[in-house]
Amino acid sequence: MLRIEESGERTLPGARETVPLADVLAELIGRRDEFRRLRHVPKDFVARLKQAGLYRAATPARFGGDPLPPAAFLSQVERISEVDGSTGWVASFGSAQIYLAALPLETQEKIYADGPDVAFAGALFPPQRGEETARGHRLTGRWKFASGCMGADLLGVGMPGDEASGGKPRTAVLRPEQVEIVQEWDVVGMQGTGSFDLVVDGVEVAREWTFVRGGEPTVDEPLYRYPTIAYAAQVLAVVGAGVARAALDHAREVGGGYKGVTGAPKLADRAYYRTEVARSEAALRSARAFFYEATAQTWETVLRGDPATDEQNAELRLASAHLAKTASDVVSGLVEVSGTAPIGTTHPLQRLLGDALVPKQHAFLGPAIYDAAGAVLMGLPPTTPGFR
């Protein structure tokens, strides 16, 4: 069942107002349909997520943030996703300050000048090279998939890697007034993420407002020594876990009452239904256990002051891809044994089916990750670029 219990309200440094996450989840239950109609999470609800601490959870402590251990933040995103996958997806980018930590400290001081609660949304693809100027780059182009851009304080667009970045892509950081948002987003899942296109027309971005994605941080705090790209994959994978949990809770709740129009036994009286619910419960919990175990082990290494190993990074990537796939498989399996009811467009499982599909399809979580992780675990180089 939905977990909206609260273990205690934290007083966050520099906060004007804090609210328990449970209160935000209760409000979300009443607004998630609105967000799907809008196709985005509006700025006023992003403000509520800020009050719950989601957008300072990866802000450096030196700038007034309250950086959480990865497992603590991932658990919060998972809880939100149980209520609404789209909002969980948007909230997951509260982790994006791990990217921003690669900016010069002087730039970060400007970013957090008004407080630590900063929402960043990036549209990184397709990477587009800007015209070099004396100060930096003049950018013109259109980028896709800027999840959460309607409520963002900062926006990023992708640039190709170069020799200076070791081939890793760069991101240019802009203010919302420098960017046009094109609301093109017509999808079967995560309909409320507002993953719209960003258009930039001749905007000059100074070099100190660009960073290498996955580059060395300029902030010396434990969270920024945790594998950056792996964490970016984790925050998306755990959204799928929350969605799958919601589907399982629904399946268990309706199993005792639903009867088909043919007069067949109710779902809970059918052996194949009970079997699928049990199999799915075991699969999801097992994948979550691997996911959080790998997270805890890597975090312990980082806290000791040691760098995460290549094997630990591979396990984080593997656990994330496996969790995303397992979550999608769970929802799909529950739909398959639930009769004709889920074919309706307004049926809860139909929405959850689409939402669970999206994390699995993400480039950070796709089938190629298994091959790359397997290569590293056998002492070989990863087989996909940007694996670490």
Sign of CA dihedral 231, 235, 236, 241: positive
What pLDDT, on the 0 to 100 scale, is given for residue 194?
97
Contacts of 337-341 with CB under 8 Å at 24 or more apart are 337/267, 337/270, 337/272, 337/273, 337/276, 338/251, 338/254, 338/258, 338/267, 338/273, 339/258, 339/260, 339/264, 339/267, 340/260, 340/261, 341/258, 341/260
CATH of 226-377, one of 1.20.140.10, 3.40.50.300, 3.30.360.10, 3.30.460.80: 1.20.140.10
CA 193 – CA 90 distance, rounded (Å)? 6
Side-chain half-sphere of 19: how many Cα atoms within 13 Å?
A: 17
pTM above 0.75, yes or no: yes
Strand partners for 212? 170
What pLDDT, on the 0 to 100 scale, is given for residue 388?
85
Residue matched to tokens 């891809």: 321
pLDDT over 50 (residue 268) = yes
pLDDT over 80 (residue 11) = no
289-316 per-position pLDDT tens digit: 999 999 999 999 999 999 999 999 999 9
Q: Which CATH class is domain 119-212?
A: mainly beta
| Sheet of strand 120-123, all strands in order from the earlier edge strand to the far edge | 120-123, 154-159, 170-174, 210-212
Q: Which of 143, 162, 192 is nearest to 39 (CA)?
A: 192
What pLDDT, on the 0 to 100 scale, is given for residue 28?
98
Mapped onto helix, strand or coil, the DSSP state of residue 142 is: strand
Task: Indicate the pLDDT class of residue 330, thresholds 50, 70 and 90.
Answer: very high
CA 279 – CA 265 distance, rounded (Å)? 21
Residue intervals of the chain classified under CATH 2.40.110.10 are 119-212
pLDDT over 80 (residue 226) = yes
CA 263 – CA 267 distance, rounded (Å)? 11
Residue matched to tokens 């010396």: 220
pLDDT over 90 (residue 214) = no
Residue intervals of the chain classified under CATH 1.20.140.10 are 226-377
CA 239 – CA 358 distance, rounded (Å)? 10
Indicate the Cα dihedral angle 252, 25, 288, 70, nearest 10°: -170
For the chain, what percent of residues have pLDDT higher than 70? Answer: 93
Q: Which residue has the higher pLDDT, 246 or 6?
A: 246
Task: Indicate the pLDDT class of residue 266, thresholds 50, 70 and 90.
Answer: confident
Report the pLDDT averaged over residues 99-111. 97
What pLDDT, on the 0 to 100 scale, is given for residue 17?
66
pLDDT over 80 (residue 119) = yes
Amino acid found at 290? F
As given in the structure block, the two tokens for residue 154 are 């900062």
